[in-house]
């Protein structure tokens, strides 16, 4: 034996021993400090719950140490709650285990069993296929237009130049039920409601791009991506003058073997294009028509039709396309929370494990078996009906989520893939703009969940002191908007990340620095910087702007920065949310913006963007807009600024404005109605649609709305009559004559 080698190895092993093996007293001190840190964390979490809207919610929380397996914090951890998209954690974990991270989806291209001369061969003959070209899918959720173009290219280089028969699409690998449990609770054609399909494209959604015409009165421009004969477009969009507000409605409905896209509304001349995504109803035909279009572009002519049907026995393989590996597919499930991909995985698991056709029943059984036999979550202790968590369908507890997360952490061959599928706080996915500037940034990986009156956050954290945790928090049945709940959940995440340091500062970290009003001159000077950035409309500025928004202390400047975020990326819902959440009608925000307007002799900063969002029907923006309108009753400058925009908002979003007025406190509503009446009276439009919308709402099936609308109709009519009578009296009054107040 080489003794010169043994001695250094022994010494190295000794150095690697835990400190307690060398210094028994140190271990006791460390354990005492850990206990103190855990008590501080419990106190911090209790404080966050008590100080936020979580105190008025049904909330379940659990925090478990990955280092020793102990439960660090628990509150209602065994109560079954709606986890929203946290269900995707169970779906993706089961898929990784049952299918494997290297699993790929196959899309097969086949031809009729004919003589070899009839089959195109690379480098031989003309490349003409006599007969049909068949496409058989197995549920690949990752094919996009770009990838389908690559497939068309591969077919070209495989020798294909023309197809004399049909393009036949076989999606029988999944059953015919395209809408999962829970999806039927909501009537919507939005992209997150997209159906499943063994042959699918672009997450079974279509991009509708809308632009103004060349001049007011011209039709708007409607374009689809990708275009094909599958779509029938009805364009009812009108181009309006530049100062009007945009409001667009896009609907997608099945029309036999076609899909009808109906677009209506108003778009101001010179405005930027807007993109809207809508689901479609027949994924296989969408796939086929788009493929036929791309084949034609590549120089491959399909003479027949696009039809659905099975691949006949004896058909011969021509080409195989395989998806990227499952570990990459999972990133779309968890990082961006794709309902479509999650439901595709459920059906794919069902088909792979229990045999085709894949169905929700088969797929859910695969997940249930995984949870019962491997994770240790007994059947009958949870409810899982779909793979995405959509709507009021599923029930899990915080303890069960933590148990799953810990199980996946301990499965080393799969743990890296599972963790990498989750969003990283302040870095990417649905957590991209959350927990910025806190201890959680970069340290926390988690899955978000959001539904009406439901918010959830579950995942992994490595705290600043080095200890690692899994955590789960679900809030159900909270009052009001979701944004305060999201901030509270983020504060919990920041508290766990701050373990060993100062977790009790988490609420302050998440809420941002304490507000401090600066001099008006400073506000004016700094506003000009952000105004220039906003005018650039460059989405690359968003990261900088969001950092500035997080660290800014002046509430009025925060509203200005938030508007710059919105204007830099107006089609991003996060920008809209930033604008609405950082604007209020109080003295510290809107009051100081009005001061700036008077000093600069200009329109009120931020108000134009708030008006644009309100005009598109955003409920939160409309609530704030009504509050601003009420202030105009006692501010003549603001009144003149709002007369035309308020009329436009009432025209663009009449039903939503009625709902906002209904939700507004009475005193504010009365003042807003006075201003609305002035606005409608001043409108050059003889038949403004808002009074008609009020009359229509009087017949609502909701008795409260109907009663309110009847009252609103009377109040508004009397005010409009009063305004017009006053205008007539003013016109008839001889110049220089004073009218007594109230006369």
What pLDDT digit, counting tens, does each position of 205-259 carry? 999 999 999 999 999 999 999 999 999 999 999 999 998 999 999 999 999 999 9
Q: How far apart are CA 93 and CA 346, in angstroms?
A: 11
List all residues 6 or more positions away from 62 whose beta carbon is below 8 Å from its beta carbon. Answer: 71, 73, 74, 75, 77, 398, 399, 401, 402, 471, 472
What per-residue confidence (pLDDT) applies to 726?
A: 66
Burial class (CB in 10 A: 0-12, 13-18, 19+), 364: buried
Q: How far apart are CA 335 and CA 420, in angstroms?
A: 9
Backbone torsion region of residue 393, taken as left when φ is above 0, otherwise alpha when ψ lies between -120 and 50, otherwise beta = alpha
Helices (H) and strands (E) in the chain, counts: 25, 20
What per-residue confidence (pLDDT) applies to 683?
A: 81
Q: How far apart are CA 554 and CA 560, in angstroms?
A: 10
State how far Cα 208 lies from the chain centre.
18
267: β partners: 239
Q: How far apart are CA 13 and CA 7, in angstroms?
A: 10
List all residues 6 or more positions away from 489 whose beta carbon is below 8 Å from its beta carbon. Answer: 455, 456, 457, 473, 475
What per-residue confidence (pLDDT) applies to 437?
A: 85
Asked if 84 contacts 389 with a C-beta cutoff of 8 angstroms, the reply is yes
3-class DSSP state of 271: coil
Query: DSSP readout, 589-626?
Result: IIIHHHHHHHHHTSPPTTHHHHHHHHHTT-HHHHHHHH
Could you tell me what percentage of the chain is helix, strand and coil, using 3-state DSSP and rounding each to the nearest 5? 50, 15, 35
Task: Copy the structure tokens of residue 37.
Answer: 């840190």
pTM: 0.89
Q: How far apart are CA 191 and CA 277, in angstroms?
A: 6
Asked if 106 contacts 139 with a C-beta cutoff of 8 angstroms, the reply is no
Residue 85, CA atoms < 13 Å, CB-side half-sphere: 25
What per-residue confidence (pLDDT) applies to 316?
A: 96
Q: How far apart are CA 192 and CA 139, in angstroms?
A: 17
Query: DSSP readout, 194-229?
Result: PPP-SS--GGGEEEEEEE--SSTTSBPEEEEES--T
What per-residue confidence (pLDDT) applies to 7?
A: 36
What per-residue confidence (pLDDT) applies to 122?
A: 53
Supply angle C-alpha 367, 372, 376, rounded to 5. Answer: 125
Query: Phi and psi at residue 36, in whole multiples of 5°?
Result: -65, -40
Burial class (CB in 10 A: 0-12, 13-18, 19+), 70: exposed
What per-residue confidence (pLDDT) applies to 739?
A: 31
* Torsion over CA: 632, 635, 639, 642 (sign): negative
- Residues of the chain predicted below pLDDT 50: 1-22, 115-118, 124-125, 730-743
Q: How far apart are CA 488 and CA 480, in angstroms?
A: 14
3-class DSSP state of 301: strand
What per-residue confidence (pLDDT) applies to 72?
A: 97
Query: Phi and psi at residue 494, in whole multiples of 5°?
Result: -65, -35
What per-residue confidence (pLDDT) applies to 466?
A: 93
Task: Copy the structure tokens of residue 196.
Answer: 């499943």
């Amino acid at each position: 034996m080489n003794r010169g080698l043994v001695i250094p190895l022994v010494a190295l092993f000794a150095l690697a021993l835990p400190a307690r093996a060398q210094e028994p007293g140190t271990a006791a001190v460390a354990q005492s400090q850990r206990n103190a840190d855990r008590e501080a964390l419990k106190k911090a979490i209790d404080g966050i719950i008590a100080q936020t809207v979580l105190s008025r919610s049904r909330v379940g929380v659990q925090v478990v140490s990955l280092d020793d397996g102990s439960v660090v914090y628990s509150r209602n951890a065994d109560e079954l709650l709606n986890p929203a998209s946290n269900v995707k954690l169970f779906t993706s974990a089961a898929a990784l285990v049952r299918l494997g991270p290297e699993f790929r989806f196959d899309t097969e291209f086949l031809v009729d069993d004919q003589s070899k001369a009839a089959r195109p061969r690379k480098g031989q003959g003309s490349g003409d296929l006599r007969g049909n070209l068949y496409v058989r899918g197995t549920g690949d959720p990752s094919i996009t237009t770009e990838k389908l173009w690559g497939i068309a290219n591969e077919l070209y280089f495989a020798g294909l130049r023309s197809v004399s028969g049909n393009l036949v699409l076989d999606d029988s690998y999944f059953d015919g039920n395209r809408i999962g449990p829970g999806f039927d609770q909501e009537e919507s054609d939005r992209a997150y409601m997209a159906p499943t399909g063994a042959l699918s494209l672009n997450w079974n959604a279509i991009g509708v791009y809308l632009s103004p015409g060349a001049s007011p009165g011209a039709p708007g421009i409607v374009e689809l991506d990708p275009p094909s004969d599958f779509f029938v477009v009805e364009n009812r969009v009108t181009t309006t003058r530049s100062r009007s507000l945009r409001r667009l409605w896009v609907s997608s409905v099945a029309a036999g073997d076609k899909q009808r896209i109906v677009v209506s509304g108003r778009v101001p001349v010179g405005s930027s294009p807007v993109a809207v995504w809508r689901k479609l109803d027949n994924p296989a035909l969408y796939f086929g028509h788009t493929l036929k279009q791309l084949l034609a572009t590549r120089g491959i002519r399909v003479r027949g039709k696009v039809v659905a049907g099975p691949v006949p026995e004896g058909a011969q393989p021509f080409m195989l396309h395989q998806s990227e590996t499952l570990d990459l597919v999972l990133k779309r499930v968890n990082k961006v929370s794709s309902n479509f991909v999650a439901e595709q995985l459920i059906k794919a698991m069902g088909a792979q494990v229990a045999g085709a056709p894949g169905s929700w029943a088969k797929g859910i059984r695969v997940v249930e078996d995984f949870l019962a036999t491997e994770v240790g979550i007994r059947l009958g202790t949870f409810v899982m009906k779909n793979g995405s968590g959509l709507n009021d369908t599923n029930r899990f507890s915080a303890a069960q989520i933590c148990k799953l997360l810990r199980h996946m952490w301990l499965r080393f061959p799969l743990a890296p893939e599972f963790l990498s599928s989750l969003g990283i706080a302040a870095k990417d996915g649905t957590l991209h703009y959350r927990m910025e500037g806190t201890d959680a940034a970069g340290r926390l990986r988690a899955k978000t969940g959001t539904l009406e009156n439901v918010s959830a956050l579950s995942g992994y954290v490595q705290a600043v002191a080095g200890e690692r945790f899994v955590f789960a928090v679900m809030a159900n049945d909270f009052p009001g908007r979701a944004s305060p709940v999201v901030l509270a959940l983020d504060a919990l995440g920041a508290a766990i990340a701050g373990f060993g340091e100062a977790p009790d500062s988490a609420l302050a970290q998440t809420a941002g620095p304490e507000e401090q009003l600066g001099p008006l001159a400073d506000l004016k000077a700094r506003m000009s910087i952000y105004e220039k950035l906003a005018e650039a409309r460059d989405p690359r500025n968003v990261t900088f702007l969001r950092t500035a928004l997080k660290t800014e202390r002046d509430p009025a400047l925060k509203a200005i920065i938030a508007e710059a975020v919105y204007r830099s990326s107006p089609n991003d819902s996060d920008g809209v949310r930033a604008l609405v959440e950082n604007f209020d009608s109080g003295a510290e925000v809107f009051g100081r913006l009005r001061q700036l307007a008077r000093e600069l002799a200009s329109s009120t900063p931020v108000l134009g963007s708030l008006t644009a969002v309100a005009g598109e029907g955003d409920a939160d923006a409309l609530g704030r807009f009504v509050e601003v309108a009420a202030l105009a009753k006692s501010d003549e400058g603001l009144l003149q600024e709002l007369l035309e925009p308020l009329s436009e908002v009432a025209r663009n979003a009449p039903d939503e404005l009625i709902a906002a007025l209904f939700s507004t406190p009475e005193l504010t509503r009365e003042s807003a109605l006075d201003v609305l009446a002035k606005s409608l009276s001043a409108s050059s439009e003889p038949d403004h649609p808002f009074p008609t919308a009020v009359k229509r709402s009087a017949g609502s099936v909701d008795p409260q709305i109907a009663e309110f609308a009847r009252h609103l109709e009377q109040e508004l009519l009397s005010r409009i009559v009063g305004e017009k009578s006053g205008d007539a009296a003013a016109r008839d009054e001889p110049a220089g004559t004073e009218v007594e107040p109230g006369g």
